[in-house]
Amino acid sequence: MRLSQYPINTVKETPSEAEVISHQLMLRAGMIRRVAAGIYSWLPLGLRTLRKVEAIVREEMNRAGAFELLMPAIQPAELWQESGRWTEYGPELLRLKDRHERNFVVGPTHEEVITDIARREIKSYRQLPVNFYQVQIKFRDEVRPRFGVMRAREFIMKDAYSFHADERSLAEGYAAMRQAYTRMFQRMGLDFRTVQADPGAIGGNASEEFQVLAASGEDAIAISDADDFAANVELAPALAPAAPRPPPTQPLERIPTPGAHTIEQLAALLKVPATRCLKTLIVDGSDGTPVALLLRGDHDLNAVKAQKLPAIANPLRMASAAAVHAATGCAPGSIGPVGLTGLRVYADHAALAMADFVCGANQHDVHYTGANWRRDMPEPAGADLRNVVAGDPSPSGNGQLQIVRGIEVGHIFQLGRKYSAAMNATVLDESGAAIPMLMGCYGIGVTRIVAAAIEQNHDQRGIIWPDPIAPFNVCLVPLNLQKSPRVRGLADALYAELSAAGIDVLYDDRDVRPGVKFADAELLGIPHRVVVGERGLDAGTLEYRHRRATDSEDFAQRGALEFLRSRLQCAQPA
C-alpha cells in the first residue's frame, strides 16, 4: 500500500475523550472514530487489524469443527419472551418497535435465536453434537460505556453455541473450545491466562474466562506463583488460616473513639494495624431480616461469595441506615458482634482466627479493645466471605497468590438445559424419548481484542503490533524520495518485490520530512521498518529495525526478501 494514496490521518495531540492508552492510540493512529457514546466507526487502517483477528478466530473455530452461520442483529421479542429474558434482562437490552408496533430487540447475545434454529433443524441425537458460530455485531446498552472499543455499546463478538445429547459430549465440546481459544490467543501473540470464572446467573457447572493481562484491565485475577492456578477474584477461594487461634491475653475494654467510623480512622486513632480490627457489615437477608458479616479490617467483602449464602439476599445489598439502626441500635461505624442479638452472624475464616481484636461496641463512637471469640461473644458461623489478597496461600496447594489485572476477551460456559428447556428444543434419544439438548456457549470479544492487544503492546511512541494482527507488517521508508532517483528506484523495486511475495507492506512514499515518516511508522505500530536512504546506496545496504529494537542494523540489498522473511516469522502462512 502506498501511504500517499491511503486515507489516513494521524493526530499528534491526544484527544481529550480518551482515558486509556489503547483508546488514545487508536484515535491518534486513525483506526477508529467515535460516532456516539460507545459506538465507533472503524477506518480502513483499524479494519485491517480487525479482519486479521477475525480471520484467526474463524480458522481456529473451523479447525475445531464448528460451522459458521449468521443470525440477525434485530430479533423478535417473542423469542425473548419465550426464554423469559424479555423481562429478566434489564435496561442493557435495547428494545424497539417497528412501524406495526411490534416489539424487537437489538441482540446483545443470540441464545434465543440459535435455540430456535436448533429446535427446527435438529430432530435426532444422531445429528449431535454440533457447534454453530457467527461473527456478529452486538448491542448492549451499557450504563457507562468507556475506554473506547474496550467497553463499547456496539461491538463485534464471535459467539458459538454447541448442542449435545449428554453431559459427556458437552464436556468434550467445551474442552474443544477451550483448546481452540487457547490456540487463537497464542497465535495473536497475546499474554493471557485461562481463569476460573463465576457462571453467574447463567448457571451451569463450568465456566472459564480468557484474560489478557494488562494493568488497565477491569478484572482482578488471582494467580499462583507456583503452578498454573488462575481464578477471577470474584470466586477465588480464600483458605482458612492453618495456624490455630491464639489464646486471649488482653481484657475486654470499652474505649471512646470519637469520629472514628472507618477502619482506617480507627486504626490510626488507636495506633493498631487494620489486621487487628474487625469490620462488621450489615446486609439484607433473604427473608427480610438483616445479616451481619464480619471481616478482618484489611479484607474486602466478596459480594459473589456472600450472596451464595442462603440467608443473604441475592443480589447482595447493604442494609439501609434505618435497618442497621433497628438491628443494632447504632449507626454504621461503631457496630460489632459483642452483644449483637436477633440477627444471623457470619464471620470470614480469617476473622475467626483473630484474638485480642478491636471491634465496635454498638454504641455511637465507642469501640472495644481486647475482644476475643467465645470469651466475650459467641463464635459465629465461619464462611469464605472475602476477596483473596496477594500473599494468600493458593487454593491449588502450591505457592502464594498474586493479584493481577486482566481484560476479558473470551468466556466459555456449559449452559446446560436453561434455553433448550425453556424453548422446548428437544431431540429423540435412542429409545425414542424427547430430551432437551444440552448447550454450551462460547464468546469472544473481537473488537475488544484489538484494544487489549494495544494495552499490552505499546510504548511512548505508539502501538507495537504483534505480527499476526498488524495492519501492515513492513513499513518501507524511503528518505529524500522526491530528489533522489536512485532511492526511488530502489524503494519502488523493493516494494514491488515484497508485495509480490505476499507481505503486507506500507510504502511511505509521501513527500514529507523523515521525522514525520518515522513518527507515523512508530505510532501505527508497524513491527518491521526498512529505511532506504542515500547512506546505504553506495555500500549496497538497507537499514532494518524492529519496532521494539532501539538500534538499527544494516543488511544487504541483495537477498533483502530472504532477510525480511527471516524477521517476519509468523507473518507468513505456516
User: Residues interacting with RNA, by CB under 7 A?
Assistant: 9-13, 15-17, 19, 36-38, 90, 92, 143-147, 200-202, 207, 315, 317, 408, 411, 413, 443, 461, 479-480, 482-483, 511-516, 518-520, 522-523, 531, 533-536, 543, 552
The DSSP 8-state label assigned to residue 311 in this structure reads T
Residue 376 identity (one-letter amino acid): D
CB of 515 to RNA, least distance (A): 3
CB of 109 or CB of 369, closer to RNA: 109
Cβ–Cβ under 8 Å, residues 64 and 497:
no
Q: Which residue in 423, 345, 350 sits closest to 378, CA to CA?
A: 345
What are the respective helix, strand and coil percentages of the chain, to the nearest 5?
Answer: 30, 30, 40
Alpha-carbon torsion, ordered 348, 350, 353, 357, to 10 deg:
-90
CB of 539 or CB of 570, closer to RNA: 539
* CA gap 372, 355 in Å, rounded: 5
CB of 160 to RNA, least distance (A): 12
3-state secondary structure of 402: strand
CB of 92 or CB of 253, closer to RNA: 92
CB of 151 or CB of 187, closer to RNA: 151
Q: Characterize the bridge pairing of strands 219-224 and 278-283.
A: unpaired
CB of 534 to RNA, least distance (A): 6
CB of 203 or CB of 251, closer to RNA: 203
CB of 257 to RNA, least distance (A): 25
Looking at 126-218, which runs of residues are DSSP E strands?
130-139, 154-164, 192-196, 207-213
CB of 467 or CB of 522, closer to RNA: 522
* CA gap 451, 433 in Å, rounded: 48
CB of 222 to RNA, least distance (A): 18
CB of 367 or CB of 458, closer to RNA: 458
DSSP-derived secondary structure for 336-373: -STT--SSEEEEEHHHHT--SEEEEEEETTEEEEEE-B
Residue with cell 537477498: 559
Q: Which residue in 332, 344, 374, 381 sits closest to 357, CA to CA?
A: 374
* CA gap 64, 179 in Å, rounded: 9
CB of 522 to RNA, least distance (A): 5
3-state secondary structure of 2: strand
CB of 160 or CB of 354, closer to RNA: 160
Could you check whether the bond before residue 244 is cis, i.e. omega within 30 degrees of 0? Answer: no
CB of 17 or CB of 121, closer to RNA: 17
CB of 29 or CB of 427, closer to RNA: 29
CB of 535 to RNA, least distance (A): 4
End-to-end, the C-alpha distance of the chain in Å comes to 23
CB of 560 to RNA, least distance (A): 15
Alpha carbon 448 to chain centroid, angstroms = 9
CB of 518 to RNA, least distance (A): 3
Query: What is the grid cell recorded at 149?
Result: 472499543
Cβ–Cβ under 8 Å, residues 356 and 371:
yes
As beta bridge partners, residue 96 has 104
CB of 185 or CB of 518, closer to RNA: 518
CB of 559 to RNA, least distance (A): 19
* CA gap 260, 267 in Å, rounded: 9
CB of 235 to RNA, least distance (A): 13
Query: What angle do helix axes 446-456 and 21-28 make, rounded to 10 degrees?
Result: 100
